[in-house]
Structure 1
Amino acid sequence: MDPSRIAPADRGPLRRLFAFARPYRGDAVLATIYSVLNKVFDVLPELLIGVAVDVVVNRQDSFLAQRGIEDPVDQLVVLVGLTVVVWVCESIFQYGHALKWRGLAQDLQHELRQAAYMHIQRLPPAFIERERSGRLMAILNEDVNQVERFLNTGANDLIQVFCSSLLVGGVFFVVTAELAVLALLPVPLILWGAFWFQTRLAPRYAAVRHAAGTVSSRLSNNLFGMATIQAYTAELFEAEHLREASEEFRIRNTDAIRFSAAITPVIRMAILAGFVATLLYGGILTLRGEIGVGSYSALVYLTQRLLWPLTRLAQMTDLYNRAMASVNRIMGLLDTPAPPRPAAQLPADGPGAVRFEDVAFGYGDDAPVVEGIDLEVPAGSTVALVGPTGAGKSTLLKLLMRYLDPDEGVIRIDGHDLALHDPASTRRRVGYVAQEPFLTDGTVAENIAYGEPAPDRSRVEKAARLAEIHGFISALPDGYDTRVGERGTRLSGGQRQRIALARAFYRDPPILVLDEATSAVDNETEAAIQRSLARAAGDRTTLVVAHRLSTVRHADEILVMDGGRIVERGTHDELVARDALYASLWRLQTGEAAEIA
C-alpha cells in the first residue's frame, strides 16, 4: 500500500480518511454529483405543488398562463408531465448515489481491513503478544464496519442537507427576502447546536470503542479457553468478568446516547420556530396580496423541506462521531511502526550454516534476556538448546527467525548478515515447528502445504509419511481432505504437532527449527517425532529447544543456557560426565535424584 495514503497523525480523522480514500476520489466525486442532482429533483415537486395551486386558484392569470399556456387543463397536463420527469430523474439519481456511496463504503471497508491486517502481519509477534487480541479483532471488524456504516448513509445525508439548505434558501429569497430571513433564522442555531454536541460526543465515543475492545477481548479469550473454564467449574466466575466488561460498555454507551438523543428534540424546537414564522408571516403576506396563494403553498412545503432534514443531524452526528472514533483507532494501528525490511533477498541455495556472533538482546529497559552469545551451527548438524525456564533459549530462535532483532551482535546464515536481508527470505529457508502449532480451519492437506495455493499432493503425502502421521490421516473420513476445525480442535495435541512437523518437512528447508515441539506430547508421539527427525535430518541444519532432554540426547552438540548465557556445551555423554547443570537436569528428569534421596 502507498504510504502516502496514511496521513500524519496530527491531522483530523476525516482528513486521514480522505487521504486513505485517494484512489477512489473519482467515485466519490461522481457519488457527490448524484447526491446533489437527486436533491435538486427532490426539491422541485414542492415548487410544482405551488404552481398547481396557482393554476387552480388563478386559472388564466396563473404563472403558467403568463408563459403562454392559457387553458387551465393544458396547464395541469404540463404539470403532470413535469412531475413525471422530475420523479423519474429523482429516482434515477437516488439509485445512482446509493449505488456509488454504498459501493465506495464496501471498497473502503475492504481496503481498510486489508491494510490493517497486512500491517499487523508486518509487526513482530511481540506486538501481538503485547496487544489484546480482542482489541485487534474489534479494530478489524467493528471499527471498520463503523466507517462503512457512515459512508453508506452519513456522507450522502451531509451533502443533501447542505444542498437542500442552499436550494430552498435560494427559492425563499427569490419569492420574499423577509420571509427567507425568518425561515432561515433557526439554521445557524441548529448547526451550532450540532457542532456543540459533536465536540462532547467525540470523547464519549472514543470511550465506547475502548470498552467494546475490552468486551471483544474477554469473549475471544474465554471462547478459546472454554474447556479450562468448564474443567475448573469457573463458568460463574468468568460470566461475572464478562458482565463487568459488558456493564462498562453499556455505561459508556448510555453516556454517549444520553447526549446524542438530546440533539433531535433541540433541533425540532428550532424547526418549529422557523415553520411557525413561515406559516404566520407568510399567511399575512398572502392575505395582503403581496405574494400569491401558490407561492405561499410552495413556501410552507419548502419550509419543511428546508428544516426537517436537519433533524437527521442527530443521526449524522452520531454516525460521524462513531466513525471518526473508529478511524482514529484504525489509523493508530497503521501508525504503529513496523521494523525496517531491506529489499535484499537471502540466497536460496546455501547449505544452511548458522552463526551467532556476540549476540545480545533485551526487552526495553529490562536486563538482557540473552547476552554474549557466540554460537556456530555447521551445515547439516543438529544442535540442541537446553536449560531452565527463562534461560533465553526461545529468544535465540526468535532472533534467528527475525521476529526480534538483536541489540548487539550479528546473526548469519551461510555468512550472510540477516539484518541486511528481507526477513521473509530468511523464513523461507527455515522450517519452524512451535510448541503450540497453529492450524488453520482447512483440510489436513492444506495445513501440511500451508501457504501454497495449489498443494502438491505427492509432496504432502511424503511429508506426512516422514512425520509418521500418514496412517492416521488415511483413516480419517475424507483422508487428506478432512477439515481439522478451528485451530485444529478436531485433532489431539500430538496429531496437531505431527501435522506441524509434516508442514516443515513439506517445505524441505535447509534449516529446521523446533521450539519445545515435544514438551506437550505423550511418550509415543515424542518417540515418533524423534524417529522423524532422525530420518529427516540428513544434511539439514537442525536447532532444537527442548525441556525433555531425552529428545536431544543424540544431538551433535548440546548447549546449556542459564541466565541468558551459554554455560556448558558438548555431547550428552560429555555433559553428564562433567556433572554440572546439565547433569543435574538429566538426573532430575530420569528420576536418579529421587532415588538417591
Structure 2
Amino acid sequence: MRLHTESSWTPPPRDREQPPAEVRRILRLFHPYRGRLAVVGLLVGAASLVSVASPFMLREILDTAIPQGRTGLLSLLALGMILTAVMTSVFGVLQTLISTTVGQRVMHDLRTAVYAQLQRMPLAFFTRTRTGEVQSRIANDIGGMQATVTSTATSLVSNLTAVVATVVAMLALDWRLTAVSLLLLPLFVWISRRVGRERKKITTQRQKQMAAMAATVTESLSVSGILLGRTMGRADSLTKSFAEESERLVDLEVRSSMAGRWRMSTIGIVMAAMPALIYWAAGFALQSGGPQISIGTLVAFVSLQQGLFRPAVSLLSTGVQMQTSLALFQRIFEYLDLPVDITEPEKPVRLEKISGEVRFEHVDFAYDDTQTRPTLDGIDMTVPAGGSLAVVGPTGSGKSTLSYLVPRLYDVTRGRVAIDGVDVQDLDFDTLARAVGVVSQETYLFHASVAENLRFAKPDATEAEIEAAARAAQIHDHIASLPDGYDTLVGERGYRFSGGEKQRLAIARTILRDPPVLILDEATSALDTRTEYAVQQAIDALSAGRTTITIAHRLSTVRDADQIVVLDAGRIAERGSHDELIERDGRYAALVRRDAQLTPVAP
C-alpha cells in the first residue's frame, strides 16, 4: 500500500515571477528592519577596512622595521596587527548577533503571515489539501530558509565588501599581480551560477518529497491511522511505504548536496594554488629584468590574496545558496498568493445585540463552475428568532452545505443568507462568530486539558462558568469522577473519551460561548440509541431560547421542531411541522417509516 505522495491541491495558475521580481519581493521582507541592517552594513564595512590593514603593516615590518632595526616601529606595527584582529572579531560577533536577530524576525513574520493566510482560506481549500502538506510548508520550507534569512544575506554583503576592499588593496600594492590573481574570476562566476540553477531544481523536488513524507506521517501515525493500520493488518506495508518515501528523499538529499560539488571544488583548488602562481610571476619578472617587487610587498600581496580566497569562495557559494533558496521562497509565496474567497467587507456591520432571526433568500450554491447542477437551488425560508428548523433529506441532498452558509464557511452563489435582516457577507467576522455556534458530527478536541478545550470558546471563562456549562451538557459528573478532573488531558482528538462524552464536551463548549444561533449538523448520527438519548438531553438544554437549525439523519430528534424542511437534490421538496408532514404522507413520511425500521425507539 502506498499513501498519496502529493497533495490533491495544486497552486492556481499564475504568471511565474521573473527572478529579479522575486528577489525584490524577498528584499521587501527585510524592509521593516532596515535600521538594524544599516548597522550591520557599517559593521561589515568597518571589519573589511580593518582586516585589509594587516598586510600593509606586515609589509612595513618586513621592508622597514626589521631591516632597519627600528624596534619602536616594530612594536607599534605588531600591536596594530593584534588590535586589528581583536576589532575584526568584535565586529564579527556584533554583526552575527544583529543579523541573526533580523533573520529570525523575518522568519517569524513569514510563519505568521502564512498561518494567518491559511486561517482566512475557505473550507474548500482544506478539504482538498492534506494536513501534512500545510505543515510542511510552514515547518520545512520556512525552516529551510533559515540559513538564507539569518546569515546568507549578511554573508553576501560581508564577503562582497571584503572582496572589494581586498582587491582595492591588492591594486594599491601591485596591479600586475592583481591582474594575474583575477584572471579566472569570470569563469568561476559562470560555474557557480550553473551550479545554483541545478540545485534550485533539485531543492524544489526535495521539498515536495518532504511534504509528501510529512503528510504520510500525519495520516498514518495519528490515532485514527494507527487504529486503521493495525485493524487492517497493514502496519508492515505502511512501514514499507514510508521507507520508500524516505529512500526517495535520501536520493534527493544526496543529489542536492553533491550537485556541482566537483566544479566548486575545482574553484577551491585553483584559488588555493594562486600563491604559487604569484610567486612564479614575481620570480619570472625578477629574472626577466622587469620592475622589482620587494619581499614585503610580495608577502603582503600573498597575504591579501589568501584573504581574498575565503570571501571569494564564500561569495560564490552564497550565490549558489540564494538560487537554491528561491525554490523555497516560491513555495511560500504560492501560499501567500492564494486568493481568499471569503473576506470581511470594507465597511462591515457590527451588531451589538443579536436576536437570531435567520433568513435564506433565493439561495443558490455550487462548489465550483464544473457542477452540472447546483448543490442548493432556490432555497427560501425563514427561522424566527428563538425558533427551530430541522433540515432532513437523503444523503447528498445539500443538508450540511445549507448549514455551512450561515457561519460563512462558504458564500452563496446567488441570493443571500441574513441574520437579523443583515446579509452575513456584510457582517464583521467577530459579530458572525458571536452570532453562530456549530456542533457537528465530528467533534474536534485539542490535545490539552478538558478545561483548556472548553475555554477555547471563551478564554476568560471562570471555573464556575466552565462547571455550569458542563453541568448543562450533562458531562460534569463524568469529568469530576476523573482523577485529574478538569485538568485531565483529553488525548489527541479526544480519544480518551467516548463518542457521546466528546459530543457533550463540544456542547458544553458551545454553551460557554452562548451563541444566539445554533447549528446542529447531525450531532447525534454517529451515536448509539442510548448515548443519543443522553446527548439529546444536553442538546435540548443548549437549544433553549436559541434559534436552532438542526441537520438530522435520525428523524427521532426533530419531531418537536417548529418547522421541518425536506431537501431533495438541493431543492425544498416539503416543509411543515412533523404532524403536518406525516398527514401529507409524502417524502418526510417515507423517511420516518424508514427511520423507524432502522432505529429502535429511544428509552
Work out whether 1:264 is the aligned partner of 2:260: no
Paired residue type of 2:237: F
Does the C-alpha gap of structure 1 residues 538 and 151 become closer, same or farther in structure 2, counting only changes over 3 Å? closer
Does the C-alpha gap of structure 1 residues 557 and 137 become closer, same or farther in structure 2, counting only changes over 3 Å? same
Q: TM-score scaled by structure 1?
A: 0.91
Does the C-alpha gap of structure 1 residues 451 and 44 become closer, same or farther in structure 2, counting only changes over 3 Å? farther
Work out whether 1:537 is the aligned partner of 2:539: no
Does the C-alpha gap of structure 1 residues 351 and 45 become closer, same or farther in structure 2, counting only changes over 3 Å? same
Does the C-alpha gap of structure 1 residues 525 and 36 become closer, same or farther in structure 2, counting only changes over 3 Å? farther
Greater CA drift, 118-127 or 237-246:
237-246
Does the C-alpha gap of structure 1 residues 285 and 541 become closer, same or farther in structure 2, counting only changes over 3 Å? same
Selected match of 2:40 from 27, 31, 46: 31
Work out whether 1:354 is the aligned partner of 2:363: no
Distance in 2 (CA, whole Å) between partners of 1:133 and 1:41 is 52
Aligned to 1:138, what secondary structure does the other structure show?
helix
Deviation at 1:580, TM superposition (A): 2.9
Work out whether 1:14 is the aligned partner of 2:17: no
Does the C-alpha gap of structure 1 residues 495 and 42 become closer, same or farther in structure 2, counting only changes over 3 Å? farther
Does the C-alpha gap of structure 1 residues 294 and 286 become closer, same or farther in structure 2, counting only changes over 3 Å? farther
Q: Would you say the 8 A contact 2:142–2:328 is kept in 1?
A: yes
Work out whether 1:59 is the aligned partner of 2:62: no
Deviation at 1:421, TM superposition (A): 2.1
Q: Would you say the 8 A contact 1:382–1:541 is kept in 2?
A: yes
Distance in 2 (CA, whole Å) between partners of 1:252 and 1:390 is 44
Does the C-alpha gap of structure 1 residues 100 and 476 become closer, same or farther in structure 2, counting only changes over 3 Å? same
Distance in 2 (CA, whole Å) between partners of 1:497 and 1:263 is 62
Deviation at 1:247, TM superposition (A): 3.4
Selected match of 2:184 from 183, 186, 200: 186
Distance in 1 (CA, whole Å) between partners of 2:598 and 2:63 is 109
Paired residue type of 1:394: S
Give the equivalent residue in structure 1 for 2:393: 387
Deviation at 1:345, TM superposition (A): 2.9
Give the equivalent residue in structure 1 for 2:278: 278
Paired residue type of 1:138: S
1:451-482 deviation digits (Å, cap 9, x = unpaired): 54432222211111111011111122222222
Does the C-alpha gap of structure 1 residues 449 and 337 become closer, same or farther in structure 2, counting only changes over 3 Å? same
Matches within 5 A, 1:69-88: 71-88=69-86
Matches within 5 A, 1:392-407: 392-407=398-413
Does the C-alpha gap of structure 1 residues 451 and 95 become closer, same or farther in structure 2, counting only changes over 3 Å? farther
Deviation at 1:171, TM superposition (A): 1.7
Give the equivalent residue in structure 2 for 1:95: 93
Aligned to 1:591, what secondary structure does the other structure show?
helix
Distance in 2 (CA, whole Å) between partners of 1:127 and 1:38 is 50
1:401-459 deviation digits (Å, cap 9, x = unpaired): 11111111111111111122223421221111122122223221221121544322222
Work out whether 1:201 is the aligned partner of 2:199: yes
Distance in 2 (CA, whole Å) between partners of 1:186 and 1:273 is 12
Paired residue type of 1:308: R
1:41-90 deviation digits (Å, cap 9, x = unpaired): 3343344444333356x521xxxxxxxxxx53212211232123212211
Selected match of 1:572 from 566, 571, 578: 578
Distance in 1 (CA, whole Å) between partners of 2:297 and 2:337 is 56
Matches within 5 A, 1:202-217: 202-217=200-215
Does the C-alpha gap of structure 1 residues 8 and 351 become closer, same or farther in structure 2, counting only changes over 3 Å? farther
Work out whether 1:340 is the aligned partner of 2:343: yes
Does the C-alpha gap of structure 1 residues 239 and 13 become closer, same or farther in structure 2, counting only changes over 3 Å? farther
Deviation at 1:327, TM superposition (A): 1.1
Aligned to 2:519, what secondary structure does the other structure show?
strand
Aligned to 2:564, what secondary structure does the other structure show?
strand
Task: Give me the CA root mean square deviation.
Answer: 2.4
Does the C-alpha gap of structure 1 residues 592 and 427 become closer, same or farther in structure 2, counting only changes over 3 Å? closer
Give the equivalent residue in structure 1 for 2:229: 229
Q: Would you say the 8 A contact 2:490–2:497 is kept in 1?
A: yes
Aligned to 2:405, what secondary structure does the other structure show?
helix
Work out whether 1:459 is the aligned partner of 2:468: no
Q: Would you say the 8 A contact 2:457–2:513 is kept in 1?
A: no
Q: Would you say the 8 A contact 1:189–1:270 is kept in 2?
A: no
Aligned to 1:116, what secondary structure does the other structure show?
helix
Give the equivalent residue in structure 2 for 1:141: 139
Does the C-alpha gap of structure 1 residues 496 and 263 become closer, same or farther in structure 2, counting only changes over 3 Å? farther
Give the equivalent residue in structure 2 for 1:518: 524
Point out where structure 2 has 5 or more consecutive residues left out of the alignment.
Answer: 1-14
Does the C-alpha gap of structure 1 residues 316 and 390 become closer, same or farther in structure 2, counting only changes over 3 Å? same
Distance in 1 (CA, whole Å) between partners of 2:203 and 2:141 is 11
Give the equivalent residue in structure 2 for 1:104: 102
Does the C-alpha gap of structure 1 residues 140 and 383 become closer, same or farther in structure 2, counting only changes over 3 Å? same
Greater CA drift, 109-118 or 159-168:
159-168
Aligned residues: 577
Deviation at 1:318, TM superposition (A): 4.6
1:537-556 deviation digits (Å, cap 9, x = unpaired): 23210111121222222222
Greater CA drift, 125-134 or 248-257:
248-257
Does the C-alpha gap of structure 1 residues 592 and 77 become closer, same or farther in structure 2, counting only changes over 3 Å? closer
Work out whether 1:491 is the aligned partner of 2:500: no
Q: Would you say the 8 A contact 1:108–1:148 is kept in 2?
A: no
Q: Would you say the 8 A contact 1:467–1:528 is kept in 2?
A: no
Give the equivalent residue in structure 2 for 1:65: none
Deviation at 1:534, TM superposition (A): 2.0
Q: Would you say the 8 A contact 1:267–1:310 is kept in 2?
A: no
Q: Would you say the 8 A contact 2:107–2:149 is kept in 1?
A: no
Does the C-alpha gap of structure 1 residues 133 and 109 become closer, same or farther in structure 2, counting only changes over 3 Å? same
Distance in 1 (CA, whole Å) between partners of 2:551 and 2:82 is 79
Deviation at 1:32, TM superposition (A): 2.5
Q: Would you say the 8 A contact 1:286–1:292 is kept in 2?
A: no
Greater CA drift, 244-253 or 118-127:
244-253
Paired residue type of 2:349: Q
Q: Would you say the 8 A contact 2:376–2:570 is kept in 1?
A: yes
Distance in 1 (CA, whole Å) between partners of 2:64 and 2:457 is 74
Q: Would you say the 8 A contact 1:21–1:108 is kept in 2?
A: yes
Matches within 5 A, 1:312-327: 312-313=314-315, 315-327=317-329
Distance in 2 (CA, whole Å) between partners of 1:555 and 1:152 is 61
Paired residue type of 2:300: A
Give the equivalent residue in structure 2 for 1:117: 115
Give the equivalent residue in structure 1 for 2:310: 308
Q: Would you say the 8 A contact 1:515–1:544 is kept in 2?
A: yes
Distance in 2 (CA, whole Å) between partners of 1:120 and 1:455 is 27
Greater CA drift, 486-495 or 561-570:
486-495
Q: Would you say the 8 A contact 2:458–2:513 is kept in 1?
A: no
Distance in 1 (CA, whole Å) between partners of 2:460 and 2:160 is 53
Give the equivalent residue in structure 2 for 1:3: none
Paired residue type of 1:293: I
Does the C-alpha gap of structure 1 residues 583 and 280 become closer, same or farther in structure 2, counting only changes over 3 Å? same
Selected match of 2:301 from 290, 299, 302: 299
Distance in 1 (CA, whole Å) between partners of 2:457 and 2:299 is 69
1:215-244 deviation digits (Å, cap 9, x = unpaired): 211211112222211111111222233233
Q: Would you say the 8 A contact 2:445–2:494 is kept in 1?
A: yes
